[in-house]
Chain A
Amino acid sequence: MPAAVNSSPTPGSVGASGRVPWKLTAPLEHVGPAGFFFAYLALTLVAPTLYLVWSSVTIDGANFTLERYQRVLTDPFYLRGFGNSIKLSVATALEATLIGALVAAAFTYAMPVRSRKALLTLTNIATNLGGVSLAFAFVALLGTNGMLTIMLRSALGIELYPEFNLASLMGLNLVYLYHLTPFVFLVTLPAFRGIRRQWIEAALTLGATRWQFWRYVGVPVLMPTILAVFILTFANAFGTYSSAMALTVGRVNLVPLQIGFLFGEAAFDKELADALSVLMILMTTACVIFYRIASRRTARWTERTR
């Protein structure tokens, strides 16, 4: 029983002679019920990903080649695509994380408890509108003859067009925010359970303002969560395909759209598409590494400080 309290189970137990026999099933014990998770994902995600990798570096399944990676990484066209995707994803991830976290805070501290179910239901509506439907809804709202466009024109005299264009990085930003902000809100909300009521009360009793509490205690406690959510939102934005395609019709150079074009009607290069996809996975892996490094520095109040 005391052994269970230690940090992680050792591969084997120390025998009477002091030797440490390595049990064959020890790694499995370490993995535990998580094993089902990894087995499942191995079959459904990891295996196809490895297939993509293999397909991107072989010709007709036989000869090894890095030509496609070389093509992509030296072609300024694709590099611009990566640049645009990164710029757009960083911007929207920052915006969505900031706004979404504030929305979650407001939900917890400013909205009446009775209204919570209704507010969550309204948010649920936003998470269900996506892809082509979302693109059309935004065209109906902000297109040249959109509801809001006409309202702004007739009521306030503001003419959106031609400076504004839905099928641009700016328009995409707006649409991405639509599906990213509720996402951030919903994923961050559980973290507020970690701000103990007693802490706030204690701080207030000791004479601190709410602002000081949040600055010195609240936000630092939430920092690992906020970092995680930022990374997650960045990845989410980076990989967004259907609403971007429906909205811009390929007008903006983004990596997921370029991948889609390789399966479309003018080009047929599944291996190049696979290479681009592998690069995207490498990017998100880099995100996780970055996140882990950054969170190690900011996690000060959580259980990892043992």
Chain B
Amino acid sequence: MEKSKRGIAAMVFVGVATMFAMSSIAAAQQPDAAKAREEKKIVSYGQPDDWANWKEIWQVFCARHGCTHEDTDMSSAEEIAKFKAERNNPVGDTAEIGMIWGPVAVREGVAAPYKGAGWDKVPDWAKDPDGRWVGLYVGVLTFAVNTAIVKNVPRSWADLLKPEYKNSIVISDPRTSGTGVATFLSATFAMGGDEKNLDPGFKYFAQLYKAGNMKAVGRNLANVQKGEAPITIGYDLQAAVWRDRLKGQVPLEVVVPSEGVFFMPGALMINQWAPHPNLARLFTDFVLSDEGQRLFAKGYAHPIRVVAGNLTLAADQNPRPITQLGSNTKYVRDWTAASVLLRDVAQRWAQEVLGQ
């Protein structure tokens, strides 16, 4: 063959081979429903029943695919550490992590890439470019106020600094809780900062702490029920559930701070060494499908596809999220930047806020 024709032939050959390879990778990625039926079991970490309606989501999914499900609640760091440590005899298939942990999971090599049906419907800022983690829903940060104890309900972050709320405000610690991280970021954004500039957040909480308004008890239903947590700051999806549960016992009012709406997404990742990979992938498809996303709404979470605009909830959908997202809603867009900065939160929180 002539030289130029050889070159062209080589290019065509490489082109076809690449297409073959890519399609076989894509084909390998597609879950096999028959194999999924044989897997019979799926194990998740950090997806507890009471959060964002996971209970019903798992029930529907497992009834459809003939599997049983188990979940163990862990922090994002523990999940990543466990996935990695048990890689020679893996047990966990999926895990929900704070989106800030997405880059960490990728770095540690524990998240498997998968772009299934519904992948394109998730906005870019809520997913990993290789498909190693994907956002499923978002929660808005709100105040949950026990109106039997607090007569003058605070309406903004600035309100919380008032002396009348001394020893009343309970938050989760950002060092141990995803909700705590979200609380911190929410105040940061409200005070004019963002994921690249955390100083306003530290300043605000240092002020709140010095004013004596923060109360050091655990932020959980028990303390709210006992009247020990007059004002708690957390996700609207949890506050709504608590409000339902405490009906008749404790009147809980959920308040969106007037400085603006801020939300944080929850992200799902599949274990790189998942023992039931087909079920895990089918599950990812399910939670990004119309049906799956609507089930999150039943748990008071805002489905990510509703935020992205390619899904609307029926007008009579009930239960549904209790807060509204508007055009000036704030959220984190650069997760890599955020995850780098947050490494310092552990020490800065202790020193700048708590004065340790």
A interface vs B, CB < 8 Å? 77, 80-81, 132, 135-136, 139-140, 143-145, 161-162, 165-167, 245-246, 248-253, 260-270
Contacts and interface: CB of A to CB of B under 8 A. Distances in A.
29 contacts: A77-B347, A80-B356, A81-B356, A132-B218, A136-B222, A136-B223, A139-B217, A139-B223, A144-B215, A161-B167, A249-B217, A250-B173, A260-B176, A261-B346, A263-B77, A264-B75, A264-B173, A265-B76, A265-B98, A265-B174, A266-B175, A266-B181, A266-B346, A267-B77, A267-B342, A267-B343, A267-B346, A268-B104, A268-B343
A264 B175 contact: yes
B31 to A, nearest CB: 30
A162 B351 CA distance: 23
B178 interface: yes
A196 B81 CA distance: 55
B30 interface: no
Contact of B176 (A167, A251, A265): A265
List the 3 closest pairs (A to B, CB-CB), nearest first: A167-B216, A264-B176, A267-B346
Interface in B152-210: 166-167, 172-178, 180-181
Contact of B177 (A251, A262, A264, A270): A264
A266 B178 CA distance: 8
B347 A145 contact: no
Contacts of A248: 216
A265 B178 contact: yes
A266 B216 contact: no
B217 A262 contact: no
B19 to A, nearest CB: 37
A143 B170 CA distance: 13
A249 B342 contact: no
How many of chain B's residues touch chain A, expressed as a range?
35 or more
A251 B167 contact: no
Question: Which of A246, A251, A264 is the most central at the interface, judged by chain B CB atoms within 10 Å of its CB?
Answer: A264
Contact of A162 (B167, B175, B223, B347): B167
B350 interface: yes
Contacts of B346: 261-262, 264, 266-267
Contacts of A166: 216-217
A44 to B, nearest CB: 16
Question: Which of B104, B173, B343, B354 is the most central at the interface, judged by chain A CB atoms within 10 Å of its CB?
Answer: B173
Contacts of B356: 77, 80-81, 252-253
A161 B217 CA distance: 14
B93 interface: no
B38 interface: no
B175 A265 contact: yes
